[in-house]
Structure 1
Amino acid sequence: MRRLLLTAAVATTAALTLTACGTTEPAADDAKKKSAEPITLTDASGAKVTLDGPAKKVVGTEWNVVENLVSLGVEPVGVADVKGYKTWNTAVPLKNDPKDIGTRGEPSMDTIASLSPDLIVATSDLPPAAVKQLRKVAPVLELKAADAADPIGRMTQNLDLIARATGTTEQAGKLKKDFEAKIAEGRKALSDAGLANAKYAFADGYVVSNQVSIRPYTSGSLIGAVNEKIGLKNAWTVKGDASYGLAATDVEGLTKLGDVQFAYIGSDGDKASTPFNGVLAKDAVWTSLPFVKKGNVHRLPDGIWMFGGPGSMATYIDSVVQSLTK
């Protein structure tokens, strides 16, 4: 069992019943007292995390964590790979200038310690040894990075845990409500355009050593789950991994898709991420594909993080609807 650094904070005095003289404590004082109460959470690892009150100085080691913090109105003091976040997630941009704490896979313990955070929010993508080291710096809320069995449920559960730790549950409720409304809006728009149950395949790709690798987003991916919520039929038949619902194929593998709507996201800030409108332009297999011949290849806007939170997914829905119905 992992050793926790935090011990439970001493409980505050019991709530007072203010009935004398028919008066009550001002609402502002009630809110202040409530905000000062200790918060105890159980994170995805099963660890108990106790905070003196809502965390204000928060470090995020993964971009979906950072996105949720920003969406909840919490400006993180430390972010892993700030440049990368700004490149890949412009749907929910940073509103402050956080300290870069290193890479997402290997954050700098010294840098994080120098920030004296109230809370570090990490994910299960970090090695257990790294999480153990982080717990020596500050309280750590470890989230399950992804779950192909329930991608949207995992996204909202992570949002809720962060909201409870930061005292922003009201904002979390609004984000979830807005996301559900966006799903309904997108589903109606696609249906009205005659695209209900349209076969659709989303992927991203990379060029490594002059070889093109393609990553299909199956029904177990967050994007795959969102696609189905808005009424699209996932055309991928390959099996994705148990966490992210991602698979691997090559250009030849695309021949199994048939006549579909094909969409992808790349980044002009990362040239290796745009093979579909780059090196494949002259590839005989690519140019022979039915959806390529028909012009049903859609590059969605840069800056939508495919593993993000409600903010990224809402922007994704808008982009899909616009691309498929224009």
Structure 2
Amino acid sequence: MLRLAAILSLSLCLAPPLAAQDDPPSRVAALSWGLAASLVALGVDPVAVADVEGYRTWVGTPALPEGTRDVGLRTEPNLEALAEAAPDLILVSDQQADMEPALRGIAEVWHIEGFDAGQDNADAARAALRDLGARLGRGAQARDVLAEVDARVAAAGARVRDHFDGAPPPVLPIRLLTPTTVRVHGANGMALAALEGMGLTHPDPGTPTEWGFVQRPVEDLAAFEEAAVVNFVPFPARDALFDTQLWSFMPFVRGGRFAEAGPVWTFGGPVSIATLAEAMADALLTLDPEVAR
């Protein structure tokens, strides 16, 4: 408690005056990777981001500017480092909700709702980008970003349909976690939003969940006999799974319908939908269209 009190005291000393509502903030920090990506897409260089190296490993694009200040973990940001960055606006998502009182001692905090089973996550992300653009005085840029997202997704789908001569297989997006567990991305997920925008189909999207995925044993993938399976990398334990008999007998492995994509963040904002679409298209184009039918 004493350390937290000291940090809050330091934060109050270092915090700049809050920007007036009609004076767009110029120094913005983001404690969510998705919100950091949205800032960069709007042409705003964040003054601080939580876990910069993690962003570069798992998100990749849009790239953070060189020298972006790292303020620690997304779940436990370093308040002293954040205060030293002197933001006038801090963007947080649900993951940082319990820290908002402490963060308000540094600067204005804007909580942008994240993922929820009761909403359409892709539509909510688009609305959040429009709201963020309006708050930062970049409403026109937000509209341009969304138009570009739609164009990129459509173009990615056209590439896939052309590669498969108009008859692409159903596509199952996954993220292998360990040699025994996998996330299967489906209803209410950004990967499915990308597939639908591309004009492609999912073999079994299931029911909507908060994050748009279900975690399953790897052996459950054997049920997808006709689908092309796209795994989002990185997957550090690849050799421990790919060298097994279980994996070699998967129908999509034997049928030449397995490909890898990324790195790309599956829990980002609208820009991630375009990046997901392009990454999946690039992966699917590595498959032999005849073998993969």
Q: TM-score, normalised by structure 1?
A: 0.75
How far is the alpha carbon of 1:63 from its aligned partner?
Answer: 0.4
Deviations 1:164-199 (A, max 9, x none): 221111111111111111222233333333455631
- What's 1:235 paired with? 203
CA contact (8 A) 2:188 2:212 kept: yes
**How much is the aligned-residue C-alpha RMSD, in angstroms?**
2.2
Which residue of 95, 114, 132 corresponds with 1:125? 95
| Structure 1 unaligned residues grouped into runs of 5+ | 1-37, 40-49, 268-272
Q: Secondary structure at the match of 1:141?
A: strand
Bigger mean CA deviation after superposition, 67-76 or 283-292: 283-292
Q: Does 1:294 align with 2:255?
A: yes
Bigger mean CA deviation after superposition, 84-93 or 60-69: 84-93
Alignment of 1:238-277 (within 5 A): 238-239=206-207, 241=209, 243-267=210-234, 273-275=235-237, 277=238
Q: Does 1:201 align with 2:172?
A: yes
Q: Does 1:54 align with 2:24?
A: yes
What one-letter code is carried by the residue in structure 2 that aligns with 1:222? M
Q: 1:157 to 1:130 in 2, by over 3 A?
A: same
State the distance in 2 between where 1:53 and 1:100 align: 26
Q: Secondary structure at the match of 1:248?
A: strand
- What's 1:3 paired with? none
State the distance in 2 between where 1:79 and 1:237 align: 33
How far is the alpha carbon of 1:80 from its aligned partner?
Answer: 0.1
How far is the alpha carbon of 1:96 from its aligned partner?
Answer: 3.8
How far is the alpha carbon of 1:265 from its aligned partner?
Answer: 1.4
Which residue of 137, 142, 145 corresponds with 1:172? 142
Q: Secondary structure at the match of 1:104?
A: coil
Which residue of 271, 274, 278 corresponds with 1:311? 271
Deviations 1:224-266 (A, max 9, x none): 121122122212355553x211110012211222221000111
What one-letter code is carried by the residue in structure 1 that aligns with 2:57? T
CA contact (8 A) 1:51 1:139 kept: no
Give the number of the structure whose alpha-carbon radius of gyration is greater: 1
Deviations 1:4-25 (A, max 9, x none): xxxxxxxxxxxxxxxxxxxxxx
CA contact (8 A) 1:81 1:104 kept: yes
State the distance in 2 between where 1:112 and 1:295 align: 48
State the distance in 1 between where 2:146 and 2:205 align: 30
Deviations 1:38-78 (A, max 9, x none): 98xxxxxxxxxx63511111110010010011111111111
Q: 1:237 to 1:188 in 2, by over 3 A?
A: closer
Shift >6 Å, 4+ stretches: none
Q: Secondary structure at the match of 1:253?
A: helix
CA contact (8 A) 2:172 2:202 kept: yes
| More helix per residue | 2
Q: Secondary structure at the match of 2:180?
A: strand
State the distance in 2 between where 1:261 and 1:103 align: 35
What one-letter code is carried by the residue in structure 1 that aligns with 2:279? S
Alignment of 1:100-119 (within 5 A): 100-119=70-89
State the distance in 1 between where 2:108 and 2:205 align: 42
CA contact (8 A) 1:67 1:309 kept: yes
Q: Secondary structure at the match of 1:249?
A: strand
Amino-acid identity (%): 26
| Structure 2 unaligned residues grouped into runs of 5+ | 1-17, 287-293
- What's 1:35 paired with? none
Which residue of 133, 136, 158 corresponds with 2:105? 136
What one-letter code is carried by the residue in structure 2 that aligns with 1:306? T
What one-letter code is carried by the residue in structure 2 that aligns with 1:140? V
State the distance in 2 between where 1:175 and 1:237 align: 27
State the distance in 2 between where 1:92 and 1:222 align: 16
What one-letter code is carried by the residue in structure 1 that aligns with 2:169? A
Q: TM-score, normalised by structure 2?
A: 0.83
- Count of matched residue pairs: 267
Deviations 1:262-286 (A, max 9, x none): 001112xxxxx344x4211232222
